[in-house]
Structure 1
Amino acid sequence: MASVLGVDRSADALVLAPGVYAPQSDTFLLAGALEREPLRPNAEVLDVGTGPGTLALAAARRGARVTAVDRSWRAVAATRLNAVLARQRVRVLRGDLLEPAAGRRFDLILCNPPYVPAPRPEVPRRGASVAWDAGHDGRAVLDRVCDGAADLLHPGGALLLVHSALSGVRATLDRLRGAGLDAAVVERRLVPFGPVLRSRADWLERQGLIAPGEEKEELVIIRADRV
């Protein structure tokens, strides 16, 4: 494992793996929302697309019973190792989005999905871009989360979801409300473009998604409650 995994000491000594999404602005924004979330003792928490387990471990440290899911074997391995190193109990499952948790119910679902609009319409199946590319409109994964989250929430449970405004805030709210959830934006933050958006700024401009010379994107946290 030492040949595959490396330690990133800037991210709370998390062990990271090549090709696994490292904690970035969207991760930290969602972690802040989690920190403000009231969690009862032994709350059931699902972290969808856990990456190296940043959010899963944050929830576990607060006494939650955490299930973390990722489609990447490397992410699963990294999260399991990080949980051991942090002395936290996290159930880590490999699978596609919500599917590994089918039939269960949670008090809180956390999700930082792929949401970046991409020149290629199909979602990549391998490579680092799996963690961010989500079709022309950035909604290939978002819509699936919006459609399926309600079935995994206890009454009174909530989904906390982060994504870029480039992939359509209104579309997310409408989709969640159509699934029976009470959804609203609870936080917004402007952040500088990262390497991916900078590399495709010309394409985003041609698509009308950004203005000429634009260098920042708006991240949003959306909370959706099952009432």
Structure 2
Amino acid sequence: MYAPQEDTDLLAGALSEEPLVPGADVLDVGSGSGALALEAARHGGRVTAVDVSWRAVCATRCNAWRARLPVRVRHGSLFEPVRDLSFDLILANPPYVPAPSGGRAPRGPARAWDAGGDGRLVVDRICREAPALLRPGGVLLMVHSALSDPDRTLAHLRTTGLKAAVTRRRRIPFGPVLRSRADWLRERGLLSAGENDEELVVVRAELPC
């Protein structure tokens, strides 16, 4: 778990544009410190937050208590704790940084950003599993790096029947993680020689009524 970053802010901006009706059911999957869950609660959503990290679960509960906002917090991997529920809005800020992991699953704090050799270890799972939890007219908002192939995300979501598009973009300087593996990313052709910033995107996918 780490403090909210630019990707959280970008996704929060997309959330602010969604016309949430009071009491709409919202899922924040991979909640981290709970920043997005709290923002959805401020917009009137009935929010459930899920994270695989016990530290993140405790942080979200603590932050919700301090803000006096009602957020249900569950411990588990992605959608496992909420399989029997459905939602009007799903928020996802998954790990998405390509990592030279050699096939090993990330451990410790790196679980918050490392996502396999192509950056899609968790993104693909969200694309597969989130549509089944959306109600008709429900929306998935997911943020990830352009290094993780947004076109592939759109294609996956469209094959499940969702209408999907990139609705927000933002370029940011490399943080410590990307700086540390920039040479590896260039060797793989994911970065050009002079590229020192990263594009973040928000994908919005809606299940037709």
Q: TM-score, normalization: structure 2?
A: 0.97
The Cα of 1:81 is off from its aligned counterpart by: 0.5
The reply on whether 1:136 has 2:117 as its aligned counterpart is yes
1:91 to 61, 72, 84: 72
From 172, 188, 201, give the equivalent of 1:207: 188
- Structure 2 letter corresponding to 1:138: G
User: What is the DSSP-based 3-state SS (H/G/I as helix, E as strand, rest coil) of the residue aligned with 2:190?
Assistant: coil
Aligned-pair identity in percent equals: 63
**Aligned-partner Cα distance in 2 for 1:226–1:66:** 19
Which residue number corresponds to residue 39 of structure 2?
A: 58
Determine which of 147, 151, 170 is the counterpart of 1:189: 170
Deviation string for 1:144-184 (max 9, x for gaps)? Answer: 00001110000000000000000001110011111221100
RMSD: 0.9
**Structure 1 residues 169 and 192: alpha-carbon distance in aligned structure 2, compared to 1, 3 A threshold:** same
Does the aligned pair in 2 maintain the 1:123–1:134 contact within 8 Å? no
Alignment partner of 1:69 out of 41, 50, 71: 50
Report if the CA contact (8 A) 1:183-1:223 is conserved: yes
- Runs of 5+ in structure 1 lacking a partner? 1-19
CA distance in 2, matches of 1:194, 1:46: 28
Q: Which residue of 2 aligns with 1:225?
A: 206
Q: Deviations over 1:187-215 (max 9, x none)?
A: 11111111100000000000000001211
TM-score, normalised relative to structure 1: 0.90
Which stretches of structure 1, 4 residues or more, deviate above 3 A after TM superposition? Answer: 121-125
Task: State the aligned residue count.
Answer: 208
Tell me, which stretches of 5 or more residues in structure 2 are unaligned?
none
Q: Which amino acid aligns with 1:187?
A: R
Deviation at 1:62, TM superposition (A): 1.4
Deviation by residue 1:118-148 (Cα, 9 ceiling, x = unmatched): 0114353531110000100001110000001
Structure number with the bigger relative contact order (C-alpha 8 A, sep ≥ 6) is 2
5 Å-filtered alignment, 1:139-158, equals: 139-158=120-139
Shift in Å, 1:101 = 1.1
